[in-house]
Amino acid sequence: MLNDTIAAISTAIGEGGIGIVRLSGDKSLEIASKVFKSAKGKDIKEMRSYSMAYGYIVDPETNEIIDEVILSYMKAPNTYTREDIVEINCHGGVLAVKKVLSVVLKSGARLAEPGEFTKRAFLNGRIDLSQAEAVIDLIRAKTDDSLNLAVNQLKGKLSQKINSLMDKLLGCLAHIEATVDFPEDDVDELVVNKLVSDLQFIVSEIDYLIKNAESGKIFREGLRTTIVGKPNVGKSSLLNALLEEKRAIVTDIPGTTRDVIEEYINIDGVPIVLVDTAGIRKTDDIVENIGVEKSKEYLQNADLILFMLDASRPLEKEDEEIIDLIKGKNVIAILNKMDLPTAIDVDYVKGRFKHVVNASVKKEHGIDEIKKAIVDLVFEGRVSSKNEILVTNVRHKDALVKAKESIVKGIETIKSGLPLDLASVELKDSYLKLGEITGNIVAEDIIDRIFCDFCIGK
């Protein structure tokens, strides 16, 4: 219901300098006036937009002063939700903020649902769906690059690209619809070739977005990177070196790590979810065996595997078993303990893995090379985060894939010489799929475009 007024705590729950209770709706100022008492005795109903008032929040039932606050007022439509907004800036204690919210709710506001302020911004047309989704990305961003991507999407960079593709698609549909509505006009080969060329261009543009979506997903969700290897090869030492702190216990005793340790790091702007696992081996120790099984589970879900090998020892059966487990995965093989005499078959390892790094983690040699290998692998054959338009959302990628499939079918229909209206069905479906990304699905635009761009029948 957009005709009611919602309220919620807009700052993180916990102790802090300031806590904010936000109201949105046409009765925001009216409700606030029931609980706010101006220090100068002024009626806040007369407040100008984008102004503030100093005073107190008072429980209207008991007349008890709850907190000393600053109240700000923003009048529709120039607000986040395009509705009247009131923000009560109170002290950031948990109890104070909750009590302020409580009296606001008792005075006529409804508790907002999760994300409802942003949802109202979308429903009221201030932002489209992809921009609304960028808000949560902005909040969750853990690196500068992640933040930049979210800001670009919030500014409408992706929306502009999608709308441009939809506009080109409408042009193609206009050609087709015109030939269907005016069959007496022959469609020559040049027109058909131009139509196919235009559609292929759209496919190439969608392909570019799909191709780079994996990098975008990494910046949005983080690269799940799992460190694996048999016991005592230096996995925990690598975790500590990458974190630059002693997070994991390191000993010479095999099997020290029995559980999974998960930490977040930032490597050159790439958010990494780093997982140190128990050494994979057969063991009779019940607790260690549980850890080994959990390690295998993490392997299946990893985006990248850092496979550690002890270069001072020949390959053993346990190493070979891990190699079998990680087949088909993105792997960086790390030959650790290279400061000791080399016993491992280096050429064999390099023949099995595309990315191999020499290191001596204990002596902090090779750490920068490992970081560089991770970043290079993330962007191998793809764009970097500095690209202005990067798809970061799985929903967007799925819609793009389906839109591309429909256009490809449409092209095949046109090339086969079948009636063009059959291709139109596929292209309309593609148009709707692209519209799902922005939330702007208006197929009726096709009719208007026919007579806007063409003068058939003159």
Annotated binding site for Mg(2+): 236, 257
The span from the first CA to the last CA of the chain, in angstroms, equals 49
Q: Which residues are annotated as a binding site?
A: 22, 87, 126, 232-237, 251-257, 276-279, 458
Positive/negative CA dihedral, 389, 394, 400, 404: positive
Give the type of residue at 122: F
Paired residues of 111 in beta bridges: 7
Three-state SS at 312: coil
* Residue 270, strand partner residues: 267
Measuring CA to CA, which residue among 371, 377, 221, 238 is closest to residue 301?
221
What are the start-end ranges of the H helices in 107-234? Answer: 116-123, 129-140, 144-154, 157-181, 189-211, 213-221
Cα separation values, 397 from 16, 208, 324, 333, 357, Å: 39, 11, 31, 30, 33
Residue set of the binding site for K(+): 232, 251, 253, 256
Angle value at C-alpha 51, between 49 and 57, nearest 5 degrees: 110
Query: Sheet holding 36-38: strands in order across?
Result: 36-38, 51-58, 65-74, 85-91, 18-24, 6-9, 110-111
Cβ pair 241, 359 in contact under 8 A: no
Alpha carbons 261 and 251: distance in angstroms, whole number: 16
Binding residues for GTP: 232-237, 251-257, 276-279
Closest CA to 159 of 449, 445, 439, 444: 439
Cβ atoms of 250 and 240 within 8 Å: the answer is yes
